[in-house]
Structure 1
Amino acid sequence: MRGGSVAVVGGSIAGSAFAGAAARLGAERVVVLERSPGHLEDRGVGLCTHNDRFDELVRAGHLDADTRRHRLAVRRWVTRGAAGEGDGPDGCGRLLWAQPFPFHSHHWGVLWQALRERMPERVEFRLGATVTAVGNTRGNDDGPAGGDAPARAWVEAGSGREEYDLVIGSDGYRSVVRAAVCPQAEPAYAGYVCWRGSYDAALLAELPGGAAAWPEEHCITACYPGGQVVIYRIPGVEPGRTQVNWVFYAPTPAWLRLDGPTSIPAGSLSDARLDELRQLAERHLPPYWAGLVTLTPRERTFLQPIYDLAAPRRTAGRLLIGGDAATVVRPHNTSGAVKAMQDAHAFELAGREARSWPELLAAYDRERTAAGRELVELGRTLGRAQVTGAPDWSGMDEPAMTAWWRQQLAGSGGFGGHALDRTG
């Protein structure tokens, strides 16, 4: 499938991956419409990719082998020591399990920049372009015949209405494009939140034991009744520097009002709400990890409610959705960025084999709708096992943790994302 024009709504990781795929397929015109007027590389959220999934994406041409990342090898599950037991001389808590963890960690902005650098120069990237509506035009979807005009899709943005052969929605969990593809699909609140933060790893010197208490290749999961915090290092924006990144799963704060999918952005939390986070950390986490969380500057701290979404379909006419616009998967899966790039890969594969737009869209829908549902279900399973229905951590040891983990993943094969070739 070659030629035609493609608009990509949303220019983040998913949007950049789809735009690159459309350009490689030979689209004559590719336009990315990103509502943010600023630099997306400033986003400091951390994420991880399984070593095998990263290598697959490199071989498939979506990433460069030298994409800057941080190597992780071990996930240490810890909890506070019982009364009289203590948290060890370093204050890092009682070790439950040292789990092999073959992952790379990334800075969101660094990974996004790597995708942007691979994008052909002819892709038009418009910042500050807020899309307010999309839709399909009437027409013959097999192309001009008997005088009929071909089917197309349209986008309404600040510059007016434009028509394209295909409109791809990669505009996140509040997607305008998803509302047109399947308006009944809305993110469902999972019943808990994650506080998030990141900062330069040099600040660890302020903690007792400094950075030496935490080996660089270790991902930490500190568990408590009703939640956990996951902590790992990520590359800094500047080469040669690293950052601390943490995700703190916790019950819904009493003050949080959810009138629809939302988050509390970095820098906007009040002193009282930051103090609530500090108290949460000091009450539930081993001292070293509580101190690590409370070192985070206000401007690097935010709150993100947890949602689930699996769109029942991904296409309608000449509209297509991918990334978080199509599936919102809980972060426990460690698969968000992989999922987005695999969506783009499936689109590209379908385009190579299809002889028409309808054929491409049907093939993509078949493949990725099913995969998305599986990832969402795994996220729910992990959320129940690790947060809302977690075991009594005080009674867990390595054999119990190993059996508990295997039970969560039974039959899924999706932790860290499915293999790119699911038939292999």
Structure 2
Amino acid sequence: MRGGSVAVVGGSIAGCAFARAAARGGAERVTVLERSPGRLEDRGVGLCILLDRYDELVRAGHLDDGIRHHPVTSRHWVARGEDGDPRGRVLWVQPMAMHAFHWGVLWQGLRERTPDSVEFRAGTAVGAVGGTDPAAPAWLETADGGRETHDLVVGADGHRSVVRAAVCPRARSEYAGYVAWRGSFDARLLDRLPGGAARWPGEEVITVCYPGGQVVLYRVPGLTPGTTLVNWVFYAPAPTWLRRADEESDPLGFPVGALDDAHHDELAELAERALPPYWAGVVNLTPVERILLQPIHDLETPRRTAGRLLLAGDAATLVRPHTTSGAAKALQDACAFEDAWRAADDWADLLPGYDRERGEAGRALVDLSRRLGRAQVSEAPDWSAIDGPGMAEWWRRQLGATGGFGGLALDRPPAAPRG
């Protein structure tokens, strides 16, 4: 199928990937509408893509080695030990080959690889969309009152998606009952700690387990080439001050730069109380302006398409970060979309093919993310009583028969990309 007009609502990772897929598939006109007025490099912090999923996406033409990343070879699970080791007691060394990315570096790479024919309209918020009749074009309205029609509108607009409200009006995200503090800082600051950076080899992901939560720490490339950041995610019960009276079931988060010194002190006290000394020190090296607070949610949708509307990335399924699958999921969605496009004769063929390809996979990931969240945070085992073989069996039980950590494998080899 060739021709037609595609509008992508949201210009982040999923939005860039879908714009590129539509252009390569043969759309005559592709427009990306992003509500943020500037570039998005500093949005978010770190993410990982398992090497198997990365290699699939490279073969599909959706990633390449020109986008800077940091190699990871193993995941070390640790907890406080009785011997006073500042790094804690090692529970399990889990082989795990991944590439770690800075969100902004990955976004920048995808944005640069989007064809010049794609129109990006920054600072353009979309207030409403429609188009559930497959025989008629879709429409969207911008916040400034403009209205336009397209053959297809893709919702890559994340957690609170406007497009999802039209495709699945009853779908709502569910608060998981805990939060993730997130932070990043220049890795050279590690030299301020006793033993310095040498205590933590750069190819290791560290998962520090404590009663009621865990902390995951790893290195990522900095926005400036040649620099490296420490990135961490600290899962913990929600602070009492996080919830507002009208947001009991869905507390609001705090973006980078919104927290103050009192919140920083609370995080420091939690780190010193829960973590071995070295890892508490790593967390407490983070400047308050580089810390954000994110309530954890999940979301599954009964369908991804309706008429001439289609959902992508977190607008379609929101999974907890424990699965290490968020970026891979969005890029796999784009791969499946391009694959369905090439196989379709018309719009009526395109959308059901994409829905079949990604709907079941998305729901399976949501289910896995809930199991991992319970196993690692809300219903975690007694870490003091578990050893390496016990950890391996515990991990196997969480994954179940289908696995899926890092994202499920693509169902079939994608078509060779054009251009």
Match of 1:252 in 2: 238
**Cα 1:220–1:137 shift into 2, 3 Å:** closer
Contact 2:68 2:221 in 1 (8 A): yes
* 5+ residue gaps, structure 2: 415-419
Match of 1:350 among 325, 340, 352: 340
Residue in structure 1 matched with residue 350 of structure 2 by the alignment: 360
Q: Deviation per CA, 1:309-328, whole angstroms, max 9, x where unpaired?
A: 01111111111101000100
TM-score calculated relative to the size of structure 2 = 0.95
Alpha carbons 1:76, 1:221 under 8 Å: kept: yes
Q: Tell me the alpha carbon deviations over residues 371-408 of structure 1, each in whole angstroms, 9 at most, x when there is no partner.
A: 10000000001111111111100011111111111111
In the alignment, which of 108, 122, 126 is matched to residue 121 of structure 2?
126
| Aligned residue identity for 1:54 | Y
Aligned mate of 1:267, from 257, 261, 265:
257
User: 1:226 Cα shift?
Assistant: 0.5
Q: Is 1:232 aligned to residue 218 of structure 2?
A: yes
Q: Please identify, of 34-43 and 186-195, the stretch whose mean Cα deviation from structure 2 is larger.
A: 34-43
Give the structure 2 partner of residue 302 of structure 1: 292
Question: For the residues of structure 2 that align with 1:137 and 1:98, how far apart are their CA atoms?
Answer: 50
The answer (yes or no) to whether the contact 1:70–1:234 under 8 Å persists in 2 is: yes
Q: Is the 8 A contact 2:242 2:251 kept in 1?
A: no
Asked if the contact 1:7–1:168 (Cα under 8 Å) also holds between the matched residues in 2, the reply is: yes
Cα displacement string for residues 80-107 of structure 1 (whole angstroms, at most 9, x for unaligned residues): 113xx21x2xx11111111101111001
Deviation (angstroms), 1:159 = 5.8
Contact 2:243 2:252 (C-alpha < 8 Å) held by counterparts:
no
TM-score, with normalisation over the residues of structure 1? Answer: 0.94
Q: Which residue of 2 aligns with 1:144?
A: none
2:205 aligned with 1:219: yes
Identity %: 67
1:366 is displaced (CA, Å) by 1.4
Structure 1 counterpart of 2:139, from 140, 149, 154: 154
Compared CA separation, residues 285 and 111, structure 1 to 2 (3 A) = same
Determine if the alignment matches structure 1 residue 105 to structure 2 residue 100.
yes
Range 59-68 or range 352-361, more displaced: 59-68
| Number of residue pairs aligned between Structure 1 and Structure 2 | 409
Aligned 8 A contact 2:242 2:252 in 1: no
1:403 aligned residue: 393
The offset of 1:271, in angstroms, is 2.0
- When the two chains are superposed, the root-mean-square deviation of aligned CA atoms in Å is 1.4
Query: 2:234 & 2:402 partners in 1: Cα distance?
Result: 25
The one-letter code of the counterpart of 1:18 is F
* Rounded Cα–Cα distance in structure 2 between residues aligned with 1:205 and 1:370: 46
* Residue pair 1:168, 1:319 contacting (<8 A) in 2 also: yes
Report the 3-state secondary structure (helix = DSSP H, G, I; strand = E; otherwise coil) of the residue aligned with 1:63.
Answer: coil
Measure, in 1, the Cα distance between the counterparts of 2:407 and 2:379. Answer: 23
Q: Distance in 2 between matches of 1:283 and 1:172?
A: 35
Counterparts of 1:19-30 in structure 2, within 5 Å, are: 19-30=19-30
**Distance of 2:360 and 2:240 partners within structure 1:** 36
Q: Residue 38 of structure 2 aligns with which residue?
A: 38
User: Tell me, what secondary structure is at the counterpart of 1:101?
Assistant: strand
Of 11-20 and 205-214, the range deviating more from structure 2: 205-214
Distance 1:261 1:46 in 2: 23
2:175 equivalent to 1:189: yes
Counterpart code for 2:278 = Y
Q: Counterpart of 1:163?
A: 149
The match for 2:417 is: none
Aligned-pair CA distance for 1:67: 2.0
